[in-house]
Amino acid sequence: GYAWVYGDARVYGDAWVSGNARVSKRIEIIWISNIGSENGTLTVTRSKDGGLFLTRGCFSGDLSKFENAVEQTHGDSQYGKEYKALIEYIKLRFA
């Protein structure tokens, strides 16, 4: 992909940076582990165009696509409610 990592950003361990991610400051990336039915990790980065890029399991895309995927996959189940709460947090965090 066309990922950029520079400035004060740190990448280590088993981290992957790919796709259209652009991480130049720590504030431009978050991850939440042990989420969803598979207890996976949700990663959110700022994309080069200023939007957001999310990955979770086999999903990768922008925030609106993630919201749609959560609604279709989980609806109002406990997992759906957890994801929806995280979506609101993501909107606040990256405002």
| CA dist 71 → 20, 44, 83, 93, 95 (Å) | 24, 18, 9, 21, 22
- Give the model's pLDDT for residue 29: 87
Give 14's pLDDT tier (boundaries 50, 70, 90). low
What would the DSSP string read from start to end of 12-45?
-TT----TTBEE-SGGGEEEEEEETTTTEEEEEE
Between residues 43 and 19, which one has the greater pLDDT? 43
Task: Please state, as a whole number, how many other Cβ atoms lie within 10 Å of the Cβ of residue 13.
Answer: 5
Q: What is the pLDDT of residues 33-76, one digit of tens each?
A: 999 999 999 999 988 788 999 999 999 999 999 999 999 999 99
- Give the model's pLDDT for residue 47: 84
Instruction: For the chain, give the mean pLDDT.
Output: 85
The answer, yes or no, to whether residue 82 has pLDDT greater than 70, is yes
Q: Is the pTM of this model over 0.75?
A: no
